[in-house]
Amino acid sequence: GDSVTQMEGPVTLSEEAFLTINCTYTATGYPSLFWYVQYPGEGLQLLLKATKADDKGSNKGFEATYRKETTSFHLEKGSVQVSDSAVYFCALRGGYQKVTFGIGTKLQVIP
Amino acid sequence: GAGVSQSPSNKVTEKGKDVELRCDPISGHTALYWYRQSLGQGLEFLIYFQGNSAPDKSGLPSDRFSAERTGGSVSTLTIQRTQQEDSAVYLCASSSPGGGPPDTQYFGPGTRLTVL
């Protein structure tokens, strides 16, 4: 079945550092890929998505590129802020809209 | 417009009791999902409803868990004879292939269940 593997946290970075959170997936066909974010005390919300190979999703300075050859969708940001502290979930949507999530990576940015 | 709502926001119950959790999806959304988020466990898929199709129950952890969706709208997740390991935040999400960015799930705030 479908699966998503993402790096376990927590990840602790200083403000303005470069962020990479790795995500790889296993799926049949051509899934859509997502990053969701959960800020402290808030619900899950979509951060960015990509629906086909080589697509780049971007939002709030975050980017992720759909790499079919490496089955990856790594999340990157060039300069993190304290306000980016949250839990980040990689996810894929396979057939019939069923969505599979990774375990989540907690990011803590310190000033 | 209104987002996904869930009730109650918090539920404390005693081991062995039954609980019902409610989800009101965004109006018009045809797909509805239930997930469980346990401390340190990430997001665990429980069940998925799509329109009038038979639900995908492949994520339900035991036969104590069941869910229904009435009239293609409101959904209720029922946990019978609750156990302490059922303590978690139960999240509901809805989506619609015909509205908004395709494939996007909209999540409710969750119900925090504590089984004593």
> A with B: how many residue pairs have Cβ under 8 Å apart?
54
| Interface of chain B toward chain A, CB-CB under 8 angstroms | 31, 33, 35, 41-43, 45, 48, 50, 56, 91, 93, 95, 97, 101-105, 107-110
Predicted local distance difference test score (pLDDT) of residue B16: 97
| pLDDT tens digits, one per residue of B34-78 | 999 987 677 888 999 988 888 989 889 999 999 999 887 999 999
Measured CA to CA, the distance from residue B34 to residue B37 in angstroms comes to 10
Q: Which of B14, B13, B36 is nearest to B23 (CA)?
A: B36
Q: What is the pLDDT of residue A13?
A: 97
pLDDT at B107: 92
What's the rounded mean pLDDT across residues B94-115? 80
DSSP B25: P
Burial of residue A82 (number of CB atoms within 10 Å: 0-12, 13-18, 19+)? exposed
Contact A4, A53 (CB under 8 A): no
Mean pLDDT of A54-82: 96
Between B91 and B102, whose confidence is greater? B91
Per-residue pLDDT reduced to its tens digit, A14-44 = 999 999 999 999 998 889 999 999 998 888 8
pLDDT score for A99? 82
Strand partners, B23: B6, B75
Residues A28, B102, A73: CA angle, nearest 5 degrees: 50
Q: What is the pLDDT of residue B52?
A: 81
Cα gap B113→B68, rounded to integer Å? 19
Q: Cα-flanking dihedrals φ and ψ of residue B84, to 5°?
A: -60, -30
Could you tell me if A104 lies within 8 Å of chain B, comparing CB atoms? Answer: yes
Contact check, Cβ <8 Å, A98/B43: no
- Given a cut of 90, is residue B12 above it in pLDDT? yes
pLDDT of residue B43: 85
Contact yes or no for B42 and A101 at CB 8 A: yes
B111 with B11: CB under 8 angstroms? Answer: yes
* A28 vs A15: CA distance, rounded Å: 38
- Residue B100 pLDDT > 60, yes or no? no
Q: So what's the pLDDT on residue B33?
A: 93
Residue of A nearest to B58 (CA): A98
What's the pLDDT tens digit per position in A80-111? 999 999 999 999 987 666 788 898 999 999 99
Contacts with B95 from chain A: Cβ below 8 Å: 97
CB nearest A89 (choices: B43, B48, B95): B43
- Of B97 and B33, more confident: B33
Q: What is the pLDDT of residue A56?
A: 96
Interface mutation target, options B43, B49, B89, chain A, most CBs of A under 10 Å: B43
Judged by CB atoms closer than 8 Å, whether chains meet at A104 and B42 is answered as: yes
| Residue B14 exposed, middle or buried by CB count within 10 Å (0-12, 13-18, 19+) | exposed
In 3D, which of B25, B43, B8 has the Cα closest to residue B113?
Answer: B8
Residues from chain A contacting residue B35 (CB–CB below 8 Å): 101
